[in-house]
Every structure is written in C-alpha cells, then in structure tokens.
C-alpha cells in the first residue's frame, strides 16, 4: 500500500545531459561583452523544473555585465580567474571558489588573467 502511494507521487525520471549536446558560442548576457562558450544544460530539461544550471566559459576580456538579480544565484569557478562584483564590491575568484549572490543585488563577473574563465552558474527558475 505504501509503495503504491509512493508510485503515485513519484518524481519525473532523471534527465542526463552531455554538455557536448548543448554547447554554443555566444556573447555573454547582460551587455554582450566579448565572447563565450555557453553550455545551456538545464534548457533541455523538460518543464516543470525549478532551477537553472549552466556552464559558461568567458573568453579573454569577456564579462557577464552588471545586472539586477531577482533571485539568489551562485557563480562557481572551475578554471581560470575572474572578478565578481555585487553591489559595487568586487572580489577575485579562482578555481574552487564560489560567490553566493543575493536577490536584489546588482551583480556581474569578468574574466581576468591569461586563461579563459570557466564557471558554473545556478539559480532558481522565476515562476511565470
């Protein structure tokens, strides 16, 4: 009986995404500053879903421009070096570091140094 009830409330099946299937070259969002390689992983996950999960590689000199966020957001650095800004305060990020950014802040991140900045970006989906 309990198993039958659990089956009625079962979650959708998992979705496995290979980044090779979702990669594209594009200008970064919020200002189109430079170029980037975008891996729009959660875009291929069927609705309903509650979060965005993306990998982006900012090429030399590229940036996700300053923008107001309406949700909490995380930038996690995989490789390279960047400078993240939140409400006018900037800090360098290196591999293994994350910036937790809060709803209502004006945020952005730019690539610095000699290597591209590879990062994971995750935030909740805004209800429509």
pLDDT value at position 91? Answer: 98
In this prediction, residue 115 carries a pLDDT of: 97
* CA–CA distance, 48 with 102 (Å, rounded to integer): 24
100: in domain: yes
Structural domains of the chain, count: 1
CB 111 within 8 A of CB 55: no
d(CA 58, CA 123): 18
Q: Which residues pair with 16 in a beta bridge?
A: none
Has residue 5 been placed in a domain? no
CATH of the domain at 79: 2.60.120.10
In a domain, 75, yes or no: yes
In a domain, 103, yes or no: yes
Q: In the predicted model, what is the mean pLDDT of residues 30-37?
A: 97
Residue 118 inside a domain? The answer is: yes
Rounded percentage of the chain residues whose pLDDT exceeds 90? 84
Per-residue pLDDT, 127: 63
C-alpha distance from residue 21 to each of 16, 28, 38, 44, 74 (Å): 11, 19, 11, 9, 23
Range of the domain at 73: 18-124
| pLDDT bracket for residue 1 (50, 70, 90) | low
- Please state the rounded mean pLDDT for residues 60-85: 97
- Within a domain: 3: no
108 found inside a domain: yes
- The whole-angstrom separation of Cα 111 and Cα 29 is 14
* Tokens standing for residue 3: 């198993």
8 in any annotated domain:
no
């Amino acid at each position: 009986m309990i198993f039958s009830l659990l089956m009625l409330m079962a979650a959708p099946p998992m979705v496995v995404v290979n980044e090779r299937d979702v990669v594209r070259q594009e200008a970064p969002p919020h200002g189109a500053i430079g170029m980037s390689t975008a891996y729009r992983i959660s875009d291929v996950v069927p609705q309903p879903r509650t979060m965005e999960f993306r990998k982006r590689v900012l090429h030399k000199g590229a940036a996700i421009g300053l923008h107001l966020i309406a949700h909490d957001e995380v930038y996690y650095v995989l490789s390279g070096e960047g400078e993240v800004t939140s409400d006018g305060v900037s800090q360098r990020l290196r591999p293994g570091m994350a910036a937790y950014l809060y709803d209502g802040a004006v945020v952005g991140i730019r690539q610095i140094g000699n290597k591209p900045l590879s990062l994971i970006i995750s935030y909740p989906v805004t209800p429509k």
